[in-house]
Structure 1
């Protein structure tokens, strides 16, 4: 039955009836909160709601509500079906990166932190290089990247050590490459 509500929500999204779509997605989650498809659909819809809020020049608070919902949806989708949801990590990182600048109350950090605690850490191993780059952007991004990297390092030290060593070695070489190419 939850699948029917989820599909109704997607149909309402296509018809641009966003209020009914949101109601349908929430109803599908009430019926089955462990379905990754329900969480994924809610996350996709929330991303569209964010885009719509930007077009209509809505308040930052309203945008952040939908961003947090999308992040939570993707993380819960990841929790309930690792295989099909692993690639949503890049969407999570993109949402955080895009909206961290307007998040004064650290709402993104809180929603990410609550759901990250419940997710499998090993799926983040493949994203260590992106997390290292992510850490140098802003305070919110640094805090999130630090949380993930520390958890990975705690449970899986070898991939963290190797990737960090390579990353910092590469960064140390970078200025030398720039100066030699500029002098030519």
Structure 2
């Protein structure tokens, strides 16, 4: 009985090795059939012009891909250069605007100084270059004439009364 069990074990090992070899052969056969079907599709295609043309087409495709990639890189470089130019132009415009503003401030300051030097003297109590109202009712610094021809007290150069002072209507 033990001898019979050992024989069966030996035959099972032999059978197992035959099954694995058969599986390997079937895998190889399936790959051969697949390649044959693929080759037949190429041969039966009327547009196919042979392996030499395939490699030439493949080279063309590789060249076209390379050109597209170079074009994309060139566009990126151009966009970066454009952004850099725009930034530099914006900085130049800001600098020029600041210079113009500084020049305008300096010019207005020099004009203001020249205008005060060339201004004719004004009488006390009159706003710059304004004439007194008819009838001599102006109020200025120091004494001023009223409508009755008398002298009154000035309110300090402004026609707006100081806080707390009373304005008397003319009689």
Q: TM-score w.r.t. structure 2 length?
A: 0.22
Structure ID, larger Rg: 2
More helix by share: 1
Q: TM-score w.r.t. structure 1 length?
A: 0.21
